[in-house]
Amino acid sequence: MEIFGIAAVEWMGYLASLFVLLSFFMRNIKALRLINTLGCLFFVVYGIILPAWPVAITNGAIVLVNLYYLLGYRRKPAT
């Protein structure tokens, strides 16, 4: 499937890149990790569809790191 002459898989890559880029503009670390996780999940799907396993594996690992810290933040009492 193509949209404006661009394959759907390429749109997935652009969307993933957009979310990762947006995450770097976040001042709040939780927002940064959430937006970055979303971008990385899109990259995992993108990497699986291509198949580009280094992209999928690396971004899958980043998702796990982000989740580790997001869940850790949730357990700490607010100060």
Exposed, middle or buried by CB within 10 Å (0-12, 13-18, 19+), for 47?
buried
Residue 61 binned pLDDT confidence (cut-offs 50, 70, 90) = very high
Is 53 or 76 the better-scoring residue by pLDDT?
53
Q: Using an 8 Å Cβ cutoff, are 19 and 42 in contact? A: yes
pLDDT at residue 64 greater than cutoff 90:
yes
Question: How many folded domains does the chain comprise?
Answer: 1
Q: How far apart are CA 46 and CA 30, in angstroms?
A: 24
* Per-residue model confidence (pLDDT) at position 1: 80
Q: What is the mean pLDDT of residues 28-56?
A: 95
| Domain, as residue range, for 56 | 2-75
Kindly state the tokens that stand for 55. 């992209």
pLDDT at residue 76 greater than cutoff 70:
no
Q: What is the mean pLDDT of residues 43-62?
A: 96
